[in-house]
Amino acid sequence: MSRPARALGALLAALLAAVALLGLTTGSAAAASSPVDVVAHRGSSGAAPENTLAAVQLAIRHRADVVENDIQRTRDGELVIMHDTTLTRTTDVEQVFPDRAPWTVGSFTLAEIKQLDAGSWFAPEFARERVPTLAEWVAAVGNQAGMLLEPKAPELYPGIEVDLDKELRALPEFNRAVRAGRVVVQSFNHAWLRTYKSLAPDVPVGLLYGVRPTPVEIVAASTWAQQVNPALGAIDEATVHAVHAHGMEIHVWTVNGGADMRRAVNWGVDGVITNYPQVLRDILRRS
């Protein structure tokens, strides 16, 4: 064989090897990817006390793609992870501070809230679990999962959009997550969310709905939001298609039954928010 022929043969062999490697890599990535994001609602809240670091850590062990939380503001301006506007359901605040009714989050300082047990109400093994700050929560998620952040009742906390943006920008884990496309801020208060979006145009936002969004609302959302996130029971498959037709994602909540998970997946939603990410992960694996 002549030298030019040998060179051409070597080049062809190299090209074939590269194509084969590309095919193998692409196939492996496709096999590892999920048709839908597994979103752990307040962490793995079906198996650990909601919105605690224990729930975050368990969600990561359950291989959640995204961890969702709820954010409130303390009396001294600190951002903490708590769903309810009062501390009574998920802490022992009534025992620790019996004379502070109605025990709203905004009437306590961070130091006071850090005295509370946020785990015993769920199970004895979670005794002394604490209410995390936003910074602690972000550090716990880190680069192990995406972040779905929901300031709860922001209208109760004037200026919380400024506080939220300032605190998040100071956290390296958050900035890395934004660059990687692993952060969304969502809210039922759409006017507030639009104000936040004006401060943080690089952060994707999602509009929460407890009822079916109308066609007009979907069109309007598409001009500034990246997600429309309704309750699964409020919508049908046509809603999913309408949201997609306007270039947005749709993540449905809160889906805890296997049949409902399969229905959402079959409709082609982009994410399922659930208290049981391990169950959804198993369903996706089997299908």
CA 78 to chain centre: 21
Helix, strand and coil percent figures for the chain, each rounded to 5? 45, 15, 40
Q: ∠ CA(151), CA(38), CA(285), 5° rounding?
A: 175
Closest CA to 167 of 119, 142, 133, 208: 133
The residue length of the chain stands at 287
Which residues does 214 contact at the CB level (< 8 Å), separation at least 6? none
Adjacent-strand bridge partners of 37: 271
CB neighbourhood size of 57 (10 A): 17
Do residues 53 and 132 touch, judged by C-beta distance below 8 A?
yes
Q: Catalytic one among 41, 62, 244, 251? A: 41
For residue 127, give both structure tokens: 């005794």
Active site residue 251: no
Spatial separation of the C-alpha atoms in residues 13 and 230, rounded to whole Å: 52
Q: Catalytic one among 62, 83, 246, 251? A: 83
Active site residue 246: no
Closest CA to 163 of 149, 183, 145, 146: 149
List the catalytic residues.
41, 83
